[in-house]
Amino acid sequence: MDFLRPTTWAEALAAKADRPEAVPIQGGTDVMVELNFDLHRPAALLDLNQVAELAEWTSEEDGRLRVGAGVPYVRLIAELGNRLPGLAQAARTVGSPQIRNRGTVGGNLGAASPAGDSHPPLLAGDAVIEVESAARGVRMIPAAEFYVGVKRSALEPDELIRAFRMSPATGPQYFSKVGTRNAMVIAVCSFAIALHPAERRVGTGIGSAAPTPRRALAAEEFLAAELDWDARLDPAVLARFGELAAEAASPIDDVRGTADYRRHAIGVMARRTLTWAWNEFRSGHFERRAG
Amino acid sequence: MTRTGSGSATPVRAPRDIAAPGTGGVGDSPLRPDGTLKVKGEFAYSSDLWIDGMLWGATLRSPHPRAKIVSIDVSAALAHPGVSAVLTHEDVPGRKHFGLDHTWDQPVLAAGEVRHQGEPIALVAADHPETARRAMEKIRIEYEVLEPLTDARRAAFDPAYPQVQPRGNLARHQPVRVGDVEAAKARAEVVVSGEYRVGIQDQAFLGPESGLAVPAEDGGVDLYVATQWMHNDLKQIAPCLGLPEEKIRMTLSGVGGAFGGREDLSMQIHAAMLALHTGRPVKIVYNRYESFFGHVHRHPAEMRYEYGATKDGRILYADVEILLDGGAYTSATMNVVGNAASLGVGPYVIPNIKIDAYGVYTNNPPCGAMRGFGAVQACFAYESMMDKLAEACGLDPVTVRQVNAASQGSELATGQVIWAPLPMAEMLRQARELPMPPPLDASDIRNLPGGASQTTHGEGVRRGVGYGVGLKNICFSEGYDDYSTARVRLEVIGGEAVALVHTAAAEVGQGLVTLEAQIARTELGVERVVIHPADNQVGDAGSSSASRQSYMTGGAVMTACQAVREGVFALAAARLDRPLDTLGDLSLVGGKVVSESAGVLAAIEDVLGDAVIEETREYHHEPTTGMDPVTGRGDSHTQLALCVHRAVVDVDVELGLVKVVELAAVQDVGKILNRLSLEGQIHGGTAQGLGLAVMEEIVVSDGKVRNPSFTDYLIPTILDMPPMRLEILENADPRAPYGLRGAGEPPTLSSTPAIVAAIRDATGLALTRVPVRPEHITGSS
Ligand SMILES: Cc1cc2nc3c(=O)[nH]c(=O)nc-3n(C[C@H](O)[C@H](O)[C@H](O)COP(=O)(O)OP(=O)(O)OC[C@H]3O[C@@H](n4cnc5c(N)ncnc54)[C@H](O)[C@@H]3O)c2cc1C
């Protein structure tokens, strides 16, 4: 097995163009597990840890954040927790402190597992994934178009993930994840919500309850039409939102949970997260919770 | 005490003599020699063994739970560069089968058919583990795949069900009969019944099966293995290798946890076969996936209970059926069934009892020993029944248990009289009166079910409290003489008296070697104690299971030390030139020979001089009897130990998520030998019971394991295990060394039903199966 160690982004892209079969490795928290389980035997590993720009984040002129694919969860929580609260909450639930020290959103996107915890908040927050190849340059892929199948993304073999771009929160955001233990657990299912008050719109993301992470589109459209932004939350609207979110899921039975339970839990989490977000929005301040 | 006979080199990271840290005797809590090393990642486990020129072994296993093997073609694997050997059942030098106890039914390598997924079929030795694995993939096996037999109930009761084993599908049926259940049914004022299920729990030890076999000049083999019972391994290994036991030298290497999962052989015979065949040392290390197929699990159980009682909650009869699925081979099923039967109604006095416990063969994963051993499954059922009875009689759960509680002098279901103190009613009172944890503080999500995963801010959360009591037999039962042996040597080294303790007892993480040193200090009055590696150059120590090593090997070390002490006294008399019987009552204290009347006579070092005193002693517990095959009667148990748990849980009833808020335990250990180790055992046993209550299960369908990884076989983390309150009692058992009671298993029994009772209290649900999954609480399908 070859071990490629580019030190710049250009070198990394060149290496990937040259060896499209090379498997990128960032934190290695997915890659190393797959190697250790002997799930596949890649001909080459492309180590991105020397590429300094991947570990940086910046504020762009359009006001959005551009977060390098190699920024580990622990820094995302510490440095961007206030601006990307939904994603930071999701990051807090990833694995254990060791995993959060190494693991990255870039790697989560690269793996594109339906259970990846970054995905629901990226979807709810309208994130755009910046990918690049030496041959065709940069492509901007909205999160909703990035996930194309179970553990498959829109990334081409000669492309690498450079960053994701996302606006700092303009309203409350929440992430909620069901697991059968209180830490170190892969999501049985998860749900993210982001209020976009300026647009009078609510974004959603469903995790681990369909072949890919996905938005609950009908539920979002329902709220866009029915939610009265100047009033208290109508219980009938809340209930309907929960139903529509549950209907958006198409889960399966597996060892982690049953399809029926997942659908039920998505409904409960949708109602709860909307309630929290709404209460916070109406109270006019962002409530900070520990965790 | 150098190794004899082999002449082969010692591997790197093989165990060596270790100096026991600290100076504490019995009752103190000196640190353990392996503690700091383990925390720093420096402890040498059996997977760390290394010797120059060694080969790596790999094991080809069946993907099918049931199949005929039509043909095996190893030629392509053998031709793979770097491969030294590929072996099948035809290459087993001696007996083709091994097994625990008397039932030798497990093939060393499958011949003609496979009976469970993961059954070993062929072995490869190569110069690199990856090479061995790749070559293994080139072994071509033609299977005729058969429908797996997975229905334990049909295996037990349907004579038309096909057979997994030629001897029939029933491994053991053990009845227990007391009084007249039918007559009692007519008198009962309250009748409650329930059906309970326990899923397959795994020992989930962290150090996978591993070891090293080194061929020796005498045609024998040196085996470095992580096991629970070397001498019983040897009894199985030697005939299969066709070697006399003397030619197999076993050394216990660093054990990464056991919990029963190392009572059966795993890689021992395989590595030795490859080493003898190639003339090279061979190391085998399972990975995590393979480990799930490399050892037996806890028997899953289906249990039907009916109790009748008076209105005031006095139980009149128990009618019980316990069905345990042992999988394809016998392993420990016989004894697990014995425990389930004799302890089927637990520590309650019931005048009329009918228990039928069955162990069956199926093509499900093989099951055998695991902490709690048959008593865990029954405890979940009988404690659930006690809560049901309490509700039916309008009593609280503590009172109904007190009303029916056994105590010193009562009879178990087997008729065996409880000879030692058993203050169960009082222990229940203590558990109830312990202060309650503070009410839920929902301002920090980490306190809530789901924790940082933020599934609730307090919505849907209800608190519940539940109790559980478990009674566990300590040491082996049913007539087995599971003695232990210790060799103790006292000599002066560097001007100081040093005791060397040598046993074959397996330190599996429970703290045994620390205790051995404590006992030597107390009995010999010395500070410096060195522990010799456990090996088979000394007599049998029995298994590190059944919570028995403090009792048995502790007892053996104690008696060997006492014999050495007599030697010191005799030597003292000689040195002082006085008859021994004129020296009065002697003891060894603080490095001195002390006479009760005359005070200090001499320093131990001065008495010893150049002399070396070495004594070897066996320790036997009082004999037990078998269980009558028709009535179950017999004095079958060596010792009984009780633990009471109170569990407090918060349940998110809408999402079915559980946070165990607090676990309080009251346990009677007879004598606290080392408080630090003891508390560790109670915490650990409780955590394992928590795992069974709410998350741990090997999920099987069609005979196949669906979650053989720590990604999906979940064990509790530090965020799942709550703080504990412990009340530890010391009511001595007069028959046991220092009055001690084995302590490792009882908390594993009682924590599971206590937690489930608390979840029932919070939800009002029946919850008849463990582990309780979220969908059981939300009522989803
Ligand atoms: C114990 C444990 C617990 C875990 N718990 C969770 C959890 O709770 N939630 C969760 O979502 N995940 C969990 N994971 C999975 C993993 O930690 C996450 O998916 C993490 O985000 C991966 O990041 P990484 O940087 O380590 O990725 P890596 O392992 O380095 O890579 C992951 C994938 O992305 C590809 N990749 C990496 N960087 C790039 C790039 N720049 N361009 C293109 N492709 C790239 C790799 O080739 C690989 O396919 C856990 C893993 C472990 C071992």
Domain that holds residue A13: 1-47
Give the residue whose CA is nearest to atom 41 of ligand 1.
A161
Measured CA to CA, the distance from residue A160 to residue B332 in angstroms comes to 54
Name the residue facing B446 among A184, A256, A291 (closest C-beta): A291
Residue to mutate, A9, A29, A36, A189, ligand 1, most ligand atoms under 8 Å from C-beta = A29
Residue to mutate, A4, A16, A25, ligand 1, most ligand atoms under 8 Å from C-beta = A25
Pocket flag, ligand 1, residue A69 (CB < 6 Å): yes
Pocket flag, ligand 1, residue A44 (CB < 6 Å): no
- Give φ, ψ of A263 to 5 degrees: -60, -45
Compute the nearest-CA separation of A258 from chain B (Å): 7
- The pLDDT assigned to B271 comes to 98
Measured CA to CA, the distance from residue A146 to residue A214 in angstroms comes to 10
Measured CA to CA, the distance from residue B697 to residue B640 in angstroms comes to 28
Extended beta strands in B216-298, E state: 221-225, 248-252, 282-285, 297-298
Query: For B228-244, how does the pLDDT look when each residue is reduced to its tens digit (9 = 90+)?
Result: 999 999 999 999 999 99
- The pLDDT assigned to B7 comes to 58
Residue A100 falls inside a structural domain: no
The enclosing H or E element of B746 equals: helix B746-763
Average confidence score pLDDT of chain A: 96
Measured CA to CA, the distance from residue A64 to residue A165 in angstroms comes to 6
Among A202, A172, A176, which residue's Cα sits nearest to residue A189?
A: A176
Ligand 1 centroid–CA A180 distance in Å is 21
> 3-class SS at A195?
strand
All residues of chain B having their beta carbon less than 8 Å from the beta carbon of residue A98 are: none
- The pLDDT assigned to A291 comes to 34
The total domain count for chain A is 2
> 3-class SS at B652?
strand
Residue A238 falls inside a structural domain: yes
Give the residue whose CA is nearest to atom 21 of ligand 1.
A108
CATH code (residue A278): 3.30.390.50
Question: Is any Cβ of chain B less than 8 angstroms from the Cβ of A287?
Answer: no
Domains and CATH numbers, chain B: 55-147+208-255+262-294 (3.90.1170.50), 297-477+626-778 (3.30.365.10), 483-620 (3.30.365.10)
Residue A37 falls inside a structural domain: yes
Cβ atoms of B539 and B578 closer than 8 Å: no
Query: For A200-222, how does the pLDDT look when each residue is reduced to its tens digit (9 = 90+)?
Result: 999 999 999 999 999 999 999 99
Residue A163 falls inside a structural domain: no
Question: Is any Cβ of chain A less than 8 angstroms from the Cβ of B52?
Answer: no
Average pLDDT of adjacent 10-residue blocks, chain B of 781 residues: 57 93 97 95 96 98 98 98 98 97 93 98 97 97 98 97 95 98 98 98 98 97 98 98 98 98 98 98 97 98 98 98 98 98 98 98 98 98 98 98 98 97 98 97 96 97 98 98 98 97 98 98 98 98 98 98 98 94 94 94 97 98 98 98 98 98 98 98 98 98 97 96 97 98 98 98 98 97 83
Extended beta strands in B383-527, E state: 461-474, 484-493, 496-503
Residue A241 falls inside a structural domain: yes
Extended beta strands in chain A, E state: 2-4, 23-25, 44-47, 57-59, 65-68, 128-133, 137-142, 147-149, 152-153, 160-166, 173-178, 189-196, 201-207
Residue A116 alpha carbon, nearest atom of ligand 1: 11
Query: For B603-653, how does the pLDDT look when each residue is reduced to its tens digit (9 = 90+)?
Result: 999 999 999 999 999 999 999 999 999 999 999 999 999 999 999 999 999
Sheet holding B67-73, edge to edge: B113-114, B67-73, B140-145
Compute the nearest-CA separation of A219 from chain B (Å): 20
- DSSP state string for A218-230: HHHHHHHHH--TT
Ligand 1 centroid–CA A184 distance in Å is 14
Q: Are strands B282-285 and B55-61 parallel, antiparallel or unpaired?
A: parallel
Residue A41 confidence class, pLDDT cut points 50, 70, 90: confident
Measured CA to CA, the distance from residue B391 to residue B384 in angstroms comes to 11
Measured CA to CA, the distance from residue A160 to residue A57 in angstroms comes to 17
Question: Is any Cβ of chain B less than 8 angstroms from the Cβ of A256?
Answer: yes
Q: Tell me the ipTM for this assembly.
A: 0.96
- The pLDDT assigned to A40 comes to 84
Judging by beta carbons within 10 Å of its beta carbon (0-12, 13-18, 19+), is residue B40 exposed, middle or buried?
exposed
Residue A77 falls inside a structural domain: no
Tell me the one-letter amino acid at B360.
V
What separation, in Å, do the N-terminal and C-terminal C-alpha atoms of chain A show? 41
- The pLDDT assigned to A39 comes to 83
Question: Is any Cβ of chain B less than 8 angstroms from the Cβ of A146?
Answer: no
Residue A191 falls inside a structural domain: yes
Find the helix packing angle between B268-278 and B230-241, rounded to 10°: 40
- The pLDDT assigned to B6 comes to 56
- The pLDDT assigned to A287 comes to 44
Residue A248 falls inside a structural domain: yes
Length of chain B: 781
Name the residue facing A178 among B457, B657, B720 (closest C-beta): B657
All residues of chain B having their beta carbon less than 8 Å from the beta carbon of residue A177 are: 450, 453-455
Distances from the Cα of A272 to the Cα of A171, A182, A233, A275, B654, angstroms? 16, 18, 12, 5, 11
Question: Is any Cβ of chain B less than 8 angstroms from the Cβ of A258?
Answer: yes
- The pLDDT assigned to A51 comes to 98
Model confidence, pTM: 0.97
